[in-house]
A and B are shown apart, each in its own frame.
Chain A
Amino acid sequence: MNKELIRLKVNGEVHEVAVPPHKLLLDVLREDLGLTGAKRGCDDSSCGCCAVLVDSVAILSCVAIASCYQDAEIVTVEGIAPPGTLDPVQEGYALAGGAQCGYCTPGFLICTKALLARHPHPTLEEIRVALSSNLCRCTGYMQIYESVQLAIERAQAREAAKPAPVGR
C-alpha cells in the first residue's frame, strides 16, 4: 500500500512518519512512535482507553485518521508531565486507588486532564458525567472519583506553593 509522509507534533516533539493514508492515530502512536500508553480496549470506540488530547480536547485516537491531525498539539499520557515528574492528575490516580489494572488509566487521565483544564473545580456529578465515556472494569469508579478529587487538591496545593510573580 502507498504510504504518505505525515508530520505529527506529539508531546511537544515533531515526528515525521510514512503511513498509509487511512492509518489511525492510535496505531501511528503505538506502532510508529512507540508511544504505547494509549490502549486499544474495544473495536467500536466505546471504552475510552485510547483517549489523547488534541489541542487540550480529549478525542478517541482509535477512530481518528492520523493525517488529519498534522497541525494539532497532540498529548498522550506519556506527555502530560515532564519525564521523571508526575502531574497532579497522575498523583491522584496513583495514590487514591484510581488505577487497579491500569489499562483504562491512560484514557481516564486524559479525560480528567481535559475536564480540569476547562473546569478546575467540578462537582462530583460533573466528574461522573465527564468520565462517563470511559469504562473501568476494576474499581466501580468510587476510587476514581477520589483520585480526581485528590488531583484537584494537589493541583491547588502546587498553585499555592508557587512563588508570587515578581514585580506585581
Chain B
Amino acid sequence: MASHSHIGKPLPMTDAPGKVTGLGKYADDLTVTGMLYGKILHSVHPHARIRAIDTSKAEALPGVKAVATGKDAPNPYGILPIGHDERVFALDKARYIGDNVAAVAATSAEIAEAALDLIDVDYEPLPAWFDPLESMQATSNWIHEQKPGNVEKEYHHEFGNPEQAFAESAFIREERYYAGEVTHAAMEPHSTLAIWEPDGRLTVHSSTQVPYYLHRTIAEVCEMPMSQIRIIKPLVGGGFGGKSEVIPLEVAAPVLAKKARRPVKITYTREEVFYAHRGRPITIADLKVGLTREGKINAVAARVVQDGGAYCGYGPVTVLYSGALLGALYDIPNVRYDGYRVLTNKPACGAMRGHGTVNVRFAFESTLDQLAHDAGMDPVEIRRRNLLKAPCITVNGLRVTSYGLPECIEKAAERSGWAEKKGKLPYGRGVGIACSHYVSGAANPIIRSNMPHTTVNIKVDRDAAVTLFTGASEIGQGSDTIQAQIVAEVLGVKMERIKLVAADTDLTPVDLGSYSSRVTFMAGNACLEAAKNIRAQVFAAVAKKSGCDPAVLEARDDFIFSTRDPGLRMNFDEAAVAAIDFHGALVATGTYAPPEEARGGKHKGAGVGPSPSYSYSAQVVELSVDTETGQVRVHRIVAAHDCGKALNPLTVEGQIEGSVYMGLGQALQEEMIWNEGRLMNPSLLEYRTPTTLETPEIESIIVESNDPEGPFGAKEAGEGSLAATIPAVANAIYDAVGVRINSLPITPEKILAALREKEKQRGGKVARSNGGRR
C-alpha cells in the first residue's frame, strides 16, 4: 500500500473524551449499592513475630461488617511461580513497616479506620535488616526461613573470556555506582472494588496493569475457580510498573467481600501507595569495563547487588534484566555478570519503567564516558565504534532484528549541536550523551506455558460496527488507540467504526498485560492477524457477489474496491452484511506468540532479556551547574528513540518525553529515604517528582528502523528512553564542572562535596576561566 490511512498519523487517543470531561471512571470513582469501605492495618514494626491478633473489639464496633486476618486467607502468592512468599495478611510475622496484618470492612471509611485502632496485635519485635550488604551476610534472624542468608536469588553469567579480554585491554575503568530507591508515583492511588455477586461469583474492578495475574491470584487466595471471578480494569491513572504485580489491597478487598458477602472498596492513601511501592531498588553496581586502543569495548564485568525489600516480587527478573541487557546495547564480546537480589525489612521492590536496565545503564554509560576521556576520544565517537550490526545475536543470546541506534546517535548529536558544544561551553555549562535500549515485551512469559501471549477477537455485526475484544490494558499509554488504528487500517474503515471492549476477563481473551512494553508489538500483531482474517472473509464475500478474484480487492475509506475494475466498489456496511450472509458470522481471532528464535539461550536465567525486538535511544542533555550552590539546571534534552515505526507519532512522542521526564527525576531529585525501615518522605510533596518548573524542554526525535516482525514495523516506545537520561545528565555535569557523581540522585550536596574534594586535590580554588575541564 502506498500510504496508510491511520497508521503513522498523530491521532488523539480514543478514550480522551472521558478523560477531559471527568466522566471517565477510575476504580475509586465507582460505587455500588451496599458498598462497604475497607481499610488495612499495617505493621508498625519492620520485623516482628505476630504472637496473636485480637479482633473482637473491632468486630463489636457498630458498622463493622467484616474483619479479616491471615487465617482467613492463608494461601501464599507472588508474581513469580518461584516466589510465592506473600500472604494477603501476615500469618506468622510482619516483614516491613507497612506489612499487611488485618483489614476491616465497614459502612463508612471513618468506622473502618476507627475499627483498625481496636485491633490488638501482639508483636514480638525481631532484629531487622536494612542494609543489603549487611543483610546478605546474615547468619540468623532471616527474613524468610526458606531463604537462608537473606539472598533471594543470585545469578552468575560469563560469556566469552572476560579475564583474557581485560588483560588485553589498553584502558580499564573500575567504579562503584550507587542508585537510590525510586518509585512509580503514578497519579492515581491504587483502588479496588470487589463485588460479591448474589450468585456467589466475584466481580473485581481494580487499578491493574495485568488483569490476568490478578485473576489468577484472587482464585488462589480466595480458593475459587477462575471461571467464577471476573476482573474488570476501569480507567487506570498511570502504572509505570507499580500496578503490574498484584498489590495487597487487590486481594484484601475480595477477601473482605467474600467474608462480608457485600461489595467492598479499598483505596490507598498516598502514604499507603509509597509503602506498597514495588519500585526500583537501591542498586550497588561494581562495574569494570575494558577498552582497546582503537576504542573498542573489549569486556564488561559487573557485580550488582539489589536491595529487594521483604518479598520476592519481580526481584529475580529485575536482577536478570540488569545482567541480560547490560552487554547487549553495543557489540561487546566478553561479559561477566554476578547479580544478587537481597532481602531486607523494607517494602518489596519490583518492576518500574525500564525494569532492571536503568541503574546499570547509568553505571555503564558513565564509565564509557570516562574511557572515552582516557582514550582521548569524543563520547559520540566511542559509541559509534561499538555498534552492533543487525541482524545479529548478542554474546548472551539476544536476537537483534532491527537496530536504529546509529541513527539515534547521529540525530541526537546533530539536533543538540554536540560538535559545537562538547568541551566548548563556558565553565559551569556542559553537554552529555548516553544511550539505552529496552525490550518490546518479554519473549518468555513469567508463568511458563505454550499459550499465546495475546489473543484478540473481532466481531462485525450487521450494523457493520467492528468490535475488538482485547485483554490488553490501557493505562494511559494509548494501547486502546494503537489497537484500534491497526484494525481500522487493515479493514480500511474509519476509526469511529472501531469499538473496543478491553480488559474484562468475562468478555476478553487472555493478554499478559501492560508491562515490559509489550502491547504494541504483541497485541498489535494479534490485532493485525485478526483484522487480516476479517478482511479476507469480507473480500471473499464481495468477490463472490461481484464475480471477481478476491486478490484484486482492496479496502480503504470505508469502501471495498477493485484495483482492476473502477466500477467495482462496495461500501463497508454492505460488504459486512454480504460477508455475514456468506459465512454465517463475521468473526475472527488473532494471536501472538514470540518465535522460538527470539526466546534466548539455555543457561540458567536465560529466559529474562530475550524479546522479539528491542528499541534504542540516544540522548544529549545540556545543563548548567551553579558552583556556589551545587544546583543543576537542565536546559534542554534531545532524545532520539528508535521505535521501529511510529504507529501514532503523538503518543510515541508522549511516551519518549514521559520516559525522559521520569529519568530526569531519578537523576536529580527523586529518592525514597529510609530510616530503620521507615520511609521519611512518603508523600508527593517530600518525594518530589519534578514539576513544570524543574522540567526542561524535551525534544523528541522519532527514528524508524522498521522491525521485520513488528506490526507495520513497530516496536517499543514507552520505556527505553528512560535509562539514557540519567547517565546523560551525569556526563553533562562532568562536562560542565569536571566532577563525576557516581551516586543517584545527583543532589547539590553531592556536587558541592565533589567540587570541594577536587579543589582540595588541586590545593587551591578551582579557576573559573577554564574550570574543571581537562
- Which residues does A use to contact B, with CB under 8 Å? 1, 30-31, 35-44, 46-47, 49, 76-78, 81, 86, 90-91, 93-97, 99-106, 109, 128-129, 131-144
Contact = CB atoms under 8 A, between A and B. Distances in A.
Contacts of B660: 140
Contacts of B12: 94-97
B476 A100 contact: yes
Given A37-B23, A140-B695, 14 more contacts: A41-B189, A43-B683, A77-B21, A86-B20, A91-B20, A94-B19, A99-B13, A102-B235, A103-B26, A104-B237, A132-B692, A132-B693, A133-B691, A142-B697
B270 A137 contact: no
Interface of B: 12-13, 15-26, 28-29, 31, 110, 184-189, 235-240, 269-271, 475-478, 650-651, 653-654, 657-662, 683-685, 689, 691-693, 695, 697-698, 700
A44 B238 contact: no
A132 B694 CA distance: 9
A27 B597 CA distance: 54
B16 A94 contact: yes
A42 B476 contact: no
A118 to B, nearest CB: 18
A38 to B, nearest CB: 7
A100 B654 contact: yes
A103 B187 contact: yes
A90 B188 contact: no
Nearest to B665: A137
Q: A interface, by DSSP: helix, strand, loop or mixed?
A: loop
Contacts of B240: 137
A141 B657 CA distance: 8
Contacts of A129: 692-693
A163 B658 CA distance: 41
A138 B683 contact: no
A106 B22 contact: yes
A17 B238 CA distance: 33
Nearest to B15: A102
A77 B22 contact: yes
Given A94-B17, A141-B692, A47 B22 contact: no
B641 to A, nearest CB: 13
Contacts of B657: 139-143
B187 A135 contact: yes
B653 A99 contact: no
Contact of A42 (B235, B659, B683): B683
A136 B187 contact: yes
B238 A138 contact: yes
A90 B21 contact: yes
B693 A102 contact: no
A100 B477 contact: yes
Contact of A140 (B20, B26, B110, B698): B698
A128 B694 CA distance: 10
A102 B237 contact: yes
A94 B654 CA distance: 13
Contacts of B685: 42, 44, 46
A134 B698 CA distance: 19
A47 B25 contact: no
B188 A103 contact: yes
B237 A39 contact: yes
B20 A93 contact: yes
Contacts of B31: 31
A135 B189 contact: no
Nearest to A79: B22
Nearest to A109: B20
Nearest to A128: B692
B270 A42 contact: yes
A102 B237 CA distance: 6
A102 B18 contact: yes
A41 B684 contact: yes
B475 to A, nearest CB: 6
Contacts of A46: 683-685
Kindly name the residue among A36, A49, A101, A104 whose own CB sees the greatest number of chain B CB atoms within 10 A: A101
Nearest to A108: B20
A90 B20 contact: yes
Contacts of A141: 657, 661, 692, 695
Kindly name the residue among B236, B239, B695 whose own CB sees the greatest number of chain A CB atoms within 10 A: B695
Contacts of B24: 102
A86 B21 CA distance: 8
A99 B187 contact: no
28 contacts: A36-B25, A36-B29, A38-B22, A41-B270, A42-B685, A47-B187, A78-B22, A81-B21, A90-B21, A94-B12, A96-B650, A97-B651, A99-B16, A100-B476, A100-B478, A101-B237, A101-B238, A103-B186, A103-B187, A128-B693, A134-B691, A134-B692, A135-B684, A135-B689, A135-B691, A139-B661, A140-B695, A142-B698
B21 A37 contact: yes
Contacts of B269: 43
Contacts of A102: 15-16, 18-20, 24, 235, 237, 476
Contacts of B684: 41-42, 44, 46-47, 135
Contacts of B691: 132-135
A43 B695 CA distance: 23
Kindly name the residue among B19, B238, B693 whose own CB sees the greatest number of chain A CB atoms within 10 A: B19
